[in-house]
Amino acid sequence: MPEKISTNPDGSLFVPENPIIPFIEGDGTGVDIWPASRLVFDAACAKYGHKVQWKEVLAGEKAFNETGEWLPNETVEAFREYLIGIKGPLTTPVGGGIRSLNVALRQILDLYVCLRPVRYFKGVPSPVKHPEKVDMVIFRENTEDVYAGMEVEAFTKEAAKLREFLLESFGWQIRDDAGIGVKPISETGSKRLIRAALNYAISRGRRSVTLVHKGNIQKFTEGAFRGWGYDLVKEEFNDKAVSWDDCGGKPGDKVLVKDAIADITLQQVLTRAEEFDVIATMNLNGDYLSDALAAQVGGIGIAPGGNINYVTGHGVFEATHGTAPKYAGLDKVNPGSVILSGVMMFEHLGWFDVANDIVAALEKTIADKIVTYDFARLMDGATEVKCSEFASAIVDRL
């Protein structure tokens, strides 16, 4: 009998054998990659006696065409009620309204962690010499920074009013033709993000957490993020984690907490990838880093993502690439991003056997050079298959 996922008294998830999980098919190539991914999910779950009751909810173009709304309230309420969901890529409406459906979902449900694991799968084409050195997990703060959307347009009365206030109150002179944005970084938002990263590192046996920031320039926002992170280590984690300054880079059996400036980090994840493990950072830095790292291990086409509130238990897992509408319905594109987002979802549910089996089968399929066009064109001796055929090949290797 299908049941809802719920929370236990201690805040952990209670996951029945047959959970109900809402899904959004996704726009564009969602019509191809969602069925392919579901085939893999159902086959892997069946091995361990699980059966997910998939509940379709609408967002994006499909929702607009059927309901006149890009993000119906019923969809938001379904994710709120059932706690866990998964989605394909969504179109961002043009010309006003919701800035981004993905950002809207994150903010409405307060999904404050954008979780982006990045690792290499043997055989995947890569532009770098040693992609196997990349094995990082990015914790990107999802609700603050410039993504908060607090900005006014140039040449508007709102911009003039804000510019006048800033001049009178702080002596800040801003050009008359400037748009102006506000970048909020709070102690609350910073600490809950870094707390989640530390808990993850400790529970998964990871070596270190690096706080990535631009605090040398933005001292009271990104610099504060760094400071609050080190404070948190001493306040809540001093038995399990230690900062670099307090141990000289020799943490013993504790998780090492260190920090790095954002610009040099973008260089060092290329030149010293093995020195990074878990990364905790703000919204914009995390956006840059996660996509740059994805390029090192095969591209955003197989990059998974999850948006999680570790306090309420809510999580929405998603493809991180775009909708690629010109390929929609051609059964052509790589479903890897949704498949690996499902892996993240199953790990979050505690179904590690299901998750590990999918990863192993995906690795074996790629190692056998059975791949979709995006990889086939970059690999010698590859067998190019359709999106659905790639999923079937993974199922054959489960």
The CATH number linked to 243 is 3.40.718.10
Residue 207, pLDDT score: 96
Q: Residue range 155-181: average pLDDT?
A: 97
Closest CA to 324 of 314, 338, 311: 338
- DSSP assignments along 135-204, one per residue: EEEEEEE-SSGGGG--EE-TTSHHHHHHHHHHHHHH-----TT--EE-----HHHHHHHHHHHHHHHHHT
Per-residue pLDDT for 314 more than 90?
yes
E strand intervals along 77-158: 84-87, 113-119, 135-141, 151-152
**pLDDT per position as a tens digit, 361-396:** 999 999 999 999 999 998 999 999 999 999 999 999
- At which of 272, 297, 322 does a domain end? 297
User: What's the pLDDT band for 95 if we cut at 50, 70, 90?
Assistant: low
Does 191 appear as a known binding residue? Answer: no
Instruction: Give how far Cα 234 sits from Cα of 107, 190, 245, 290, Å.
Output: 29, 15, 12, 28
223 and 306 in a common domain = no
Same-domain pairing of 251 and 388: no
Q: Residue 186: CB partners within 8 Å, gap ≥ 6?
A: 144
**337 annotated ligand binder:** no
| Same domain, residue pair 14 and 89 | yes
Same-domain status, 29 and 57? yes
Closest CA to 313 of 55, 93, 82, 122: 82
**Residue 374 assigned ligand-binding role:** no
Distances (CA, A) of 357 to 87, 121, 287, 295, 296: 21, 14, 29, 25, 24
Confidence (pLDDT) at 320: 86
The 10s digit of each residue's pLDDT in 19-68 is 999 999 999 999 999 999 999 999 999 999 999 999 999 999 999 999 99
283 and 189 in a single domain? The answer is yes
Asked if residue 37 belongs to a known ligand binding site, the reply is no
pTM: 0.92
Cβ contacts of residue 328 below 8 Å, gap of 6+? 27, 28, 29, 30, 31, 32
**Residue 94: band (very low, low, confident or very high) from pLDDT cuts 50, 70, 90:** low
**Last residue of one domain, picked from the residues 255, 277, 297:** 297
Would you please indicate which residues are annotated as catalytic (active-site) residues? 147, 214, 263, 287
Residue 156: partners with Cβ closer than 8 Å, 6 or more residues away: none
Q: What is the pLDDT of residue 271?
A: 94
Whether residue 103 sits in one domain with residue 3: yes
pLDDT band at 148 (very low <50, low <70, confident <90, very high): confident
C-alpha closest to that of 315 among 3, 16, 23: 23
Q: Which domain holds residue 164?
A: 148-181
Residues 231 and 139 both lie in one domain: yes
Confirm whether residue 195 is marked as ligand binding: no
Residue 3 tokens, joined: 């049941």
136 plus 267 within the same structural domain: yes
| DSSP strand pairing (113-119 vs 53-56) | unpaired
Are residue 218 and residue 280 in the same domain, yes or no? Answer: yes
Range 261-277 burial, b when 16+ CB lie within 10 A, else e: bbeebbeebbeebeebb
Work out how many domains the chain is built from and give that number. 3
Whole-Å CA distances, 319 to 72, 80, 87, 384:
20, 20, 7, 22
Give the three-class secondary structure for 65.
helix
325 annotated as belonging to a binding site for a ligand: yes
C-alpha neighbours within 13 Å on the C-beta side of residue 330: 13
Chain-centre distance for alpha carbon 345? 11
| Pair 287, 140 in one domain | yes
Whether 24 and 137 map to the same domain: the answer is no
End-to-end CA distance of the chain: 25
Does 264 share its domain with 380?
no
